[in-house]
Each structure stands twice: as C-alpha cells, then as structure tokens.
C-alpha cells in the first residue's frame, strides 16, 4: 500500500509565518518520503483609470513585475532553507484561492498545507483563503495554526 500523501503542496503568502508553515510541511514530507512543492500567488494590481481617464501609466506594470520578481526571490530563499529544488516551487499571478486549487489539481497533489490565522473583527465578513481551500480542494488540506 502506498503512503497516503506522496505529493504535498505548500501554499505560502511569504509573510514571516511562511517559514513556520514551511517547516511543518517539510517535516511531514520527510516523514512520509513525499515530494514537497511550493506555490506563492501574486494577485494582479487592479488597474483603475484616473479621473478623467488618461492613458494607463507604465508604473503600474513595473510595480506588478517588481512584485513578481520580489516574490521569486523570497520563495527561492524559503525553498533553499527547506531543501526544495528550484523545479518544485513556483510563483504565479492570479486569484490566490483559484490558483492554489488549480495547481493542486494540475499537479495531482494529495495534500495542501496552508497557514491559518485566527479571525478578528471585520475579518469574519471575509472568507479567508484557507477556508475556501479546505472546502473546495481536490485533496486533503492541513491548516497550520498560526
């Protein structure tokens, strides 16, 4: 019988807590002799035309490119710390919840690992990423309490 988890997807937001979540995912992958994949999603910066409408300023595009480059650098460093090879991590642009679920399905993962923060105040009105992933994932989800 094969182990229950052979491909684990670690979804990180690159906050300081990503290291803690990553270490948990790495420990689990090592214990199960599973492959660990890492993803970070950069949401597109909304382009809102100025009033009155003027041509879109290239600064917005540069900012998005800079966000992607910074994320690549940060996730690369996290991956090196976790011992994950460069071909097993990625930074994608899109809607966070949608992209995590898409990558999980595309990569045929058995488990998604995400961080989970306690909700306070107005955050109860927003559906956090981990809640959507838990309910819509094509596989099991481990939410690491932060």
**Residue 130 placed within a domain:** no
**CA–CA separation, 74 and 12 (whole Å):** 11
**CA–CA separation, 75 and 85 (whole Å):** 11
* pLDDT score for 76: 97
Q: Where are the beta strands (DSSP E) in the chain?
A: 7-11, 35-42, 89-93, 111-116, 140-145
CA angle 47, 101, 142 (to 5 degrees): 120
pTM, two decimals, is 0.84
**Residue 131 placed within a domain:** no
**Residue 71 placed within a domain:** yes
Contact predicate 41/89, CB 8 Å: no
Residue 107 pLDDT greater than 50, yes or no: yes
**Residue 136 placed within a domain:** no
Give the range of the structural domain holding residue 111, as residue numbers without chain letter.
Answer: 7-47+54-125+141-145
* pLDDT score for 103: 97
Express each pLDDT in 34-85 by its tens digit: 999 999 999 988 766 656 555 555 555 568 889 999 999 999 999 999 999 9
Express each pLDDT in 4-36 by its tens digit: 899 999 999 999 999 999 999 999 999 999 999
Q: Which CATH number goes with the domain that contains 92?
A: 3.40.50.620
DSSP state of 47: -
**Residue 20 placed within a domain:** yes
Residue 115 pLDDT greater than 50, yes or no: yes
**Residue 2 placed within a domain:** no
What's the total number of domains in the chain? 1
**Residue 133 placed within a domain:** no
Contact predicate 113/11, CB 8 Å: yes
* pLDDT score for 125: 47
**Residue 58 placed within a domain:** yes
């Amino acid at each position: 019988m094969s182990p229950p988890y052979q491909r684990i997807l670690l979804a990180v937001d690159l906050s300081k807590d990503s290291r803690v979540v990553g270490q948990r995912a790495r420990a689990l992958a090592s214990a199960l002799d599973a492959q660990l994949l890492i993803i970070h999603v950069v949401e597109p910066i909304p382009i809102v035309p100025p009033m009155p409408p003027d041509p879109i300023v290239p600064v917005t595009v540069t900012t998005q490119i800079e966000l992607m480059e910074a994320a690549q650098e940060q996730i690369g460093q996290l991956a090196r710390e976790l011992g994950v090879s460069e071909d097993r991590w990625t930074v994608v642009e899109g809607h966070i919840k949608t992209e995590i679920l898409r990558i999980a399905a595309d990569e045929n993962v058995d488990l998604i690992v995400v961080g989970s923060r306690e909700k306070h105040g107005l955050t109860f009105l927003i559906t956090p990423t981990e809640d959507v992933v838990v309910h819509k994932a094509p596989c099991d989800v481990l939410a690491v309490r932060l």
